Structure 1
Amino acid sequence: MAETALSPLRHLPSVDRVLRQPDVAILIGKYGRAETTRAVREALAALRDEMKPGAVFDDAAISASVLAYLEARAEPRLKPLFNLTGTVLHTNLGRAVLAEEAIKAATVAMRNAVSLEFDLATGKRGERDDHVRALICELTGAEDATLVNNNAAAVLLALNTLAQGREAVVSRGELIEIGGAFRMPEIMARAGARLREVGTTNRTHPRDYADAMSPETGLILKVHTSNYRIEGFTAEVGARDLATLARQHNVPFVNDLGSGTLADLSRFGLRKEPTVREAVDEGADLITFSGDKLLGGPQAGFIVGRKDLIAAINRNPMKRALRVDKMRLAACEATLRLYRDPDRLAQRLPTMRFLARSMEDVRKQAIRLAPVLAAILEGSAVVEAASCSSQIGSGALPLDTIPSFGLVMRPKGGGRAVEALSAAFRRLPWPVIGRVAEGALVFDLRCLEDEGLFRENITSLRFEASS
């Protein structure tokens, strides 16, 4: 009985025998012996689990299985994709696409030793902030500047430096949550500051702040509520008035702009967002803002403002834990330099280029691509070019939309078929990510620049609607 049960295993090739096969030997040269051996063991284990009496083992099939395993293991988890969601700065899809100048600068920094913390003039140790400090100050009008790895870190560091063990006064209507469980009250607690709420959810007055001032006050904090809007019976205290109140009580005023911008978005037909320079002019002692949102650069958090406060922040031991690396610093510098030429910003900075793209241009692209996609999905879905609306994303102007155009696909079979079609596009070599709305899969084309690659990519789509 045992002999009968084990007999098929006698024909299962050994690991060494498979490794000696010519096709597998080639894989060793490409993937390494250790990784190929692992793949062979996995392939043989799978055959063993599926073994049936009288099974015959084909060398070519085993080699193919080994190759498939190795290719899957070598596939990067972080995959490039087409963002056709209609959200230009999509947090889950990496936010800002970097400018070519930033990509080149980061590549140079990756390939070479660089003067990260080395002063070439004196031959002594330097400061990494020096590479962007003057540029940031030039563009914002601030006295001094520093940067960390994101805006949440910038807020955390400012609070910890200026209000540890003391009160941070903030309007109840500005105690935001920006996603990922980042809530302002919790970040204050982690920074060691005590939250002092003033006003109500919809209305806060100057007297609310004035009444909260005490010897325990560490700072006044204003948070730009970029990811929601309260309308109706509302009131808030402007930054200029808070700056005056802070000076009267000799406490710092910190203005967290969140997404932040160095350019006037009204130039692109969007509602105006407060710029960093305007926040400086309004008298804030410190301003924090992101690098990878409206600024259009890599992930970073900027802190600009009074020289003495920036110096105190740089002395905080937490600063070292939150600093940026050489690649990000190089990309930040290259991105900031683009703002010296505002007339060409929309051509050179992808974020601004996407926002400034005309609806007519997007419409023409949708009309070109609709028949291409319809031919691929023939018999499985109806495809049409149709108007839609884009949004900035990442908390910026949440209620404002941009007229756009896209492809609307309605597969046969209803809701489940829509989800199946969406999954089929996600399985492409370059996954295509859209949005499901009203029983259809919608591709907003505002962010589609490489039309040739998109056309080539969708030719491998495999989808059949259920009857």
Structure 2
Amino acid sequence: MSIFESFGLRKVINASGKMTALGASAVSNEVAEALKQASQDYVDIEEMMEYSGKAIAEYTGAEDGCPTCGAAAGIAISTAAIITGKNLTLIERMPDSEGLRNEIIIQKGHQVHFGANIGQMVRIGGGKVIEVGSANKVEADHIEQAITDKTAALLYVKSHHAVQKGMQTIETMMNIAQKHNIPFIIDAAAEEDFKMYIKIGADIVIYSGGKALEGPTSGFICGKKELMEACRKQYKGIGRPMKVGKEGVAGLLTALKQYASLEDNAEDQIERMTQLNQSLEEVEGLTCSIKQDEAGRAIYRAQIEVNADKTGMSAQELLNRLETGNPAIFLRHHYVNIGILSVDPRPLLKGQEAIIANTIKSILREG
């Protein structure tokens, strides 16, 4: 019995992905041990924060870093750092940034909801969101023409949530930022490469610690030294209510240390999802395939198209039955409105794909 079942909560099978709503990742034994040891000891927090910045820099190739309680906090803290620098008086003013250089330019297709609103995270940090272009089309001129003497930074959101079609590339946006000597921020929360964006010249890059890294609920910011020092100083301001504890930092650093040794399991993902698809082939009205992640990551999910006329049940109805069962099975449902459900193999424990297939068949048989 899991710790959550002992509380009287339902068992959860997570086939949705490394989603915050389901607890993000299940950590390794090494990370779990680090969390345990840190929770039973003491440390000078300021010293720990400075050390963690150096460690994050080592693993990302950045000049410095800053641990956070999550990527969303990283957006707010980075925004505040850009606006205030290391000025304590300004830090204590945030999010009141009236009269300061506070405008953050973002492409309209990147102003997304990830469980909360990207724009709100910027506003918490004192930023004024400036959306440019249209939801499905942004020209380089839209970005450049939005720059004023109030522009504090350009923000790029690298995410499957963001519109992929019609947006300007990271390179284009970064070139514009560099041309105007404006900091360039990349929200790369779920990305797998922790060095790429720093290497190409981004000033600030934000990651989740509980997604690709498979660490605890945490996050980190990396980038230029002056900006990272300003980020850490935000814990005397808007960062205070979103502070990361000693346990989170210990788990984060342990996860970063072991990340390089994690194996690419794309072949295993494809094999497991192929088996699931084959098990569902016998069900009339289900069309199954394997699809790579929309953002181009090495993630291969089973895609299940539900023909309601043949199954007698819509994809939304099937999803509701799965989620309200015990165990509760959560599938990826970004396209449920057009009859598509997906199974993400990464968070699945061994053999759970068979449970999912059998449960789907059982639900559809019962009607």
Tell me the TM-score normalized by structure 1: 0.58
Q: Which residue, out of 87, 96, 101, partners 2:25?
A: 96
How far is the alpha carbon of 1:309 from its aligned partner?
Answer: 1.9
Q: Structure 1 residues 453, 237: closer, same or farther in 2, change over 3 A?
A: closer
Residue 432 of structure 1 corresponds to which residue in structure 2?
329
Q: Which residue, out of 345, 355, 360, partners 1:446?
A: 345
Matched AA of 1:149: C
Secondary structure at 2:138 match in 1: coil
Residue 66 of structure 1 corresponds to which residue in structure 2?
none
Residue 280 of structure 1 corresponds to which residue in structure 2?
198
Aligned: 1:231 with 2:158: no
Deviations 1:402-425, CA, capped at 9 Å, x for gaps: 364889999x98328994896378
Q: Which residue, out of 108, 133, 150, partners 1:173?
A: 108
Deviations 1:349-390, CA, capped at 9 Å, x for gaps: xxx64x5524234434666x779xx9xxxxxxx599974335
How far is the alpha carbon of 1:453 from its aligned partner?
Answer: 11
How far is the alpha carbon of 1:139 from its aligned partner?
Answer: 1.8
For the Cα contact (< 8 Å) 2:67–2:221, is it kept in 1?
yes
Secondary structure at 1:192 match in 2: coil
Secondary structure at 2:18 match in 1: coil
Q: Structure 1 residues 144, 240: closer, same or farther in 2, change over 3 A?
A: same
Secondary structure at 1:283 match in 2: coil
Matched AA of 1:204: E
Secondary structure at 1:238 match in 2: helix
Secondary structure at 1:357 match in 2: helix
Q: Structure 1 residues 243, 99: closer, same or farther in 2, change over 3 A?
A: farther
For the Cα contact (< 8 Å) 2:60–2:198, is it kept in 1?
yes
Matched AA of 1:292: G
Cα distance in structure 1, aligned partners of 2:354 and 2:211: 25
Residue 360 of structure 1 corresponds to which residue in structure 2?
271
Secondary structure at 2:48 match in 1: coil
Secondary structure at 1:389 match in 2: strand
Cα distance in structure 1, aligned partners of 2:163 and 2:352: 40
Residue 6 of structure 1 corresponds to which residue in structure 2?
none
For the Cα contact (< 8 Å) 2:191–2:297, is it kept in 1?
no
Cα distance in structure 2, aligned partners of 1:170 and 1:435: 30
Bigger drift between 141-150 and 155-164 goes to 155-164
How far is the alpha carbon of 1:445 from its aligned partner?
Answer: 7.5
Residue 83 of structure 1 corresponds to which residue in structure 2?
14
The equivalences for 1:223-302 within 5 A come to: 223-226=156-159, 227-231=161-165, 238-247=172-181, 251=182, 253-263=183-193, 276-302=194-220
For the Cα contact (< 8 Å) 1:405–1:445, is it kept in 2?
no
Cα distance in structure 1, aligned partners of 2:365 and 2:276: 26
How far is the alpha carbon of 1:465 from its aligned partner?
Answer: 6.0
For the Cα contact (< 8 Å) 1:239–1:283, is it kept in 2?
no
Matched AA of 2:210: D
Cα distance in structure 2, aligned partners of 1:258 and 1:233: 16
For the Cα contact (< 8 Å) 2:140–2:168, is it kept in 1?
no
How far is the alpha carbon of 1:142 from its aligned partner?
Answer: 0.9
Q: Structure 1 stretches of 5 or more lacking a match? A: 1-72, 119-125, 264-275, 347-351, 375-381
Cα distance in structure 2, aligned partners of 1:200 and 1:422: 33
Cα distance in structure 1, aligned partners of 2:8 and 2:110: 38
Aligned CA-pair RMSD: 4.6
For the Cα contact (< 8 Å) 1:280–1:287, is it kept in 2?
yes
Cα distance in structure 2, aligned partners of 1:100 and 1:108: 12
Residue 32 of structure 1 corresponds to which residue in structure 2?
none
For the Cα contact (< 8 Å) 1:289–1:301, is it kept in 2?
yes
Q: Structure 1 residues 169, 463: closer, same or farther in 2, change over 3 A?
A: closer
Secondary structure at 2:185 match in 1: strand
Aligned residues: 340
Residue 123 of structure 2 corresponds to which residue in structure 1?
189
Q: Structure 1 residues 312, 388: closer, same or farther in 2, change over 3 A?
A: same
* Identity score, percent: 19
Cα distance in structure 1, aligned partners of 2:146 and 2:366: 66
Q: Which has the higher contact order (CA 8 A, sep 6+)?
A: 2
The equivalences for 1:132-171 within 5 A come to: 132-163=52-83, 164=97, 165-171=100-106
